[in-house]
Structure 1
Amino acid sequence: MKKQERRWMHYAGLAVVAAVWGANFGVSRKGMETFDPVLFSFLRFSLALPFFFLLLKAREGSVGLPAKELPRLAVLGLFGVTGLEIAVMYSIKYTTLANASLLNVAPWPIFAALFGPLFLRERITPRLVAGGIAAIVGVCFIILGGGEGFDLSSGHMTGNLLALAVSVVGALFNLACMPLMQRYSALRVSTWYTAFGVLFMFPLTLPSWGKVEWAALGGSEYTAILFNVFVCTVFAFVVWNAGMFSIGAARANFFRYVVPASAVGAGYLFFDEAFSGWQLAGTAFMAAGLLWIGIERREPASIGA
């Protein structure tokens, strides 16, 4: 396969993963009607972990890593899985979906670009800036043009702050993974930081197991769990990390702007939510910005000092 074709496959993969994550905002909120946010996150990653190891063994023939890398992966797992995913769940629970979508998504690529020089020598080009601005304008139109709007009232402040923190920590987490992915595959890195994240998350779930009426769980709860395990975690993490390594962290993270568009589209298709002209215009701006970023040739990034 030609290099240009592989690059566009990575762009398409990033867009698909972001669309899946957008649809999962509603699925996760539904799941948290039954499960505590920490327990829901733990079920997602602990059930996905064996499949990560099986896939790693099948594709690469081994699952191990040098012992010297384990402390760094433990830190990545603690902050990037345990802390980050719990914060995402609580932000969805304690603020509106519009707030969570905007604050989780919009600042993330900006922080990735700002913090990038700490980890990589990844050039920020005028095309990347212009495309990013168009995408930011688009995602703001999509979210603010909806009926729910953006709400800064004190009742949502905890969720809003958590959502903003997710953008900061998430950008740093993505960038911190990149040097490891220069030495090992994206799948190997993902598998091991997920393993540590599950390990650190387990003690936090202990008060929650007894609160769930396991015998009363129905199809909707199991569907939410399976969707999170196989689609939002196993498939999404492998595809996202491979794409991010290929095209660069700054470019990849701008594809997170597909997340709120997907959330709005899912609401329109499955929950009869209205779709406004502002949101349609925002989708066009966002798509144009991402396309403008995508058609630029990228020079390979090198590891920072």
Structure 2
Amino acid sequence: MDRKWIYYLGLALVSVIWGANFGVSRLAMDTFDPVLFSFLRFGIAVPFFFLILRWKEGSVGIPLRTALQLAAIGLIGITTLEIAVMYSIKYTTLANASLLNVAPWPIFAALFGPLFVRESISPRLIVGGAAAMFGVCFIILGGSEGFNLSSSNMIGNLLAFGVSIIGALFNLATMPLMKQYSALRVSTWYIFFGVLFMFPLTLGSWSKVDWSALTVSHYSAIAYNVLICTVFAFVVWNACMYKIGAARANFFRYVVPAAAVAAGYLFFDESITGWQLAGTVFMAAGLIWISLERKRKVIT
């Protein structure tokens, strides 16, 4: 029985988790510097990754050559990418950051894919991806902020667009290694290296936090980011992405802004417009169309 729907469901679930995290992180940013909060998220997650890896596979080691590859991936995909995401949000509007980050990402994954893995691009993927992309544009542009091309947002806009390029390359770079090692082992090590490179950038931020004043909500935000958004989400995303291919998997990132809009409605009393509802329908239809593809040929 073809059970690929489980992998698509896993991708959608992770995207919902990441989308809801916009609201959780928004609250945390009032207390923590963005880079420090990213470090706490990934740094606290590292021991959990190694414990799970040891429990599941009986060992945690990797060859030196592979370690060097994963160090480069961690520097790009965790340190650089996460900091760029944080500062793109800081220097432009949330709508701009969401659109320029999320919408082009799957397109770059498809364009750069042949450099890393030989993966077929079918007419169904093109049609479904286009429908999903139009849908996510409606979701983002249909909000109250809209899209702002003001010169004051240019730095943030460029950072957000750069995130989509770096993120696509980061995802694709892990694919060949997942043919040799499990998604869990690959994730564990590139996150470990990413945290190492990120730590020096946090040294000026620790003293700015009033640690004694932290509340249950702060610790809950950290726990959600560590256990759900990082440990659970990265393992599930990478495992599912490897099974169905990077090009198809990354279109499911379009669920992220829809989940963020829903979180804003539920937790911050933000309104949802008709354009956003229509965009959600387009996006869902496109993703369902992609997931119903009967056969996908991947040449390794």
Bin of the TM-score, shorter chain as denominator length: over 0.9
**Distance (Å, rounded) in 2 between the aligned partners of 1:161 and 1:169:** 12
Partner of 1:228: 225
Which of 155, 176, 185 pairs up with 2:182? 185
Matches within 5 A, 1:238-277: 238-277=235-274
How far does residue 300 in structure 1 lie from its aligned partner after superposition?
Answer: 4.6
Determine which of 198, 212, 215 is the counterpart of 2:212.
215
Asked whether the equivalents of residues 111 and 167 of structure 1 are also in contact (C-alpha less than 8 Å), the reply is yes
- CA distance in structure 2 between the aligned counterparts of 1:221 and 1:150, rounded to whole angstroms: 31
Match of residue 173 from structure 1: 170
Structure 1 moving runs of 4+ over 6 Å: none
**CA apart distance, 1:217:** 1.3
SS in 1 for 2:30: coil
Q: 1:79 aligns with which of 72, 76, 80?
A: 76
Deviations 1:251-285 (A, max 9, x none): 00000000010011111112111111111110010
Stretch of structure 1 that moved more, 164-173 or 269-278: 269-278
8 A Cα contact 2:23 2:267, kept in partner = no
How far the C-alpha of 1:298 sits from its partner, in A, is 4.0
Distance 1:105 1:144 in 2: 13
Report if the CA contact (8 A) 1:28-1:89 is conserved.
no
Question: In the alignment, is residue 90 of structure 1 matched against residue 87 of structure 2?
Answer: yes
The alignment's TM-score, normalised by the length of structure 1, stands at: 0.96
Secondary structure at the counterpart of residue 271 of structure 2: coil
Flag structure 2 segments of 5+ consecutive residues without an equivalent.
Answer: none
Q: Which residue of 1 aligns with 2:193?
A: 196
Distance 2:139 2:296 in 1: 32
Number of residue pairs matched?
300
User: Secondary structure at the residue paired with 1:182?
Assistant: coil
Is the CA contact 1:105–1:256 (under 8 Å) kept in the aligned structure 2? yes
1:300/1:52 Cα in 2 relative to 1: closer, same or farther (>3 Å)?
farther
For residue 200 of structure 2, give the secondary structure of its aligned residue in structure 1: helix
Counterpart code for 1:243: C
Give the percent of matched residue pairs that are identical in Structure 1 and Structure 2. Answer: 72
- 2:125 counterpart residue number: 128
Classify the secondary structure of the residue corresponding to 2:49: helix
In structure 2, distance between residues paired with 1:220 and 1:301:
45
Deviation (angstroms), 1:299: 2.9
Instruction: Tell me which amino acid in the other structure corresponds to 1:38.
Output: V
Shift of 1:141: 0.7
After superposition, give the CA deviation of every residue in 1:173-195 in whole Å (9 maximum; x if it has no partner): 00000000011000000000001
Question: Whole-Å Cα distance in 1 between the matches of residues 167 and 43 of structure 2?
Answer: 20
CA pair 43-50 structure 1, distance change in 2 beyond 3 A:
same
CA drift of 1:198 comes to 0.7
CA shift for structure 1 position 103: 1.2
- Residue of 18, 21, 43 corresponding to 2:18: 21
Distance in structure 2 (CA, Å) of the matches to 1:252 and 1:169: 16
CA–CA separation in structure 1 for the residues paired with 2:141 and 2:90: 19
Cα pair 1:73 1:192 within 8 Å, conserved:
yes
> Does structure 1 residue 63 correspond to structure 2 residue 63?
no
- Matched-pair contact (CA < 8 Å) for 2:120–2:297: no
Identify which range, 168-177 or 217-226, moves more after superposition: 217-226
The normalised TM-score by structure 2 is: 0.97
Contact 1:103 1:163 in 2 (8 A): yes
Question: In 2, distance between residues paired with 1:266 and 1:299?
Answer: 34
* Mapped partners of 2:150, 2:283: distance in 1: 27
1:183 counterpart SS class:
coil
Separation in 2, partners of 1:130, 1:108: 16
- Note the residue ranges of structure 1 that are not aligned, 5 or more in a row: none
The one-letter amino acid paired with 1:239 is V
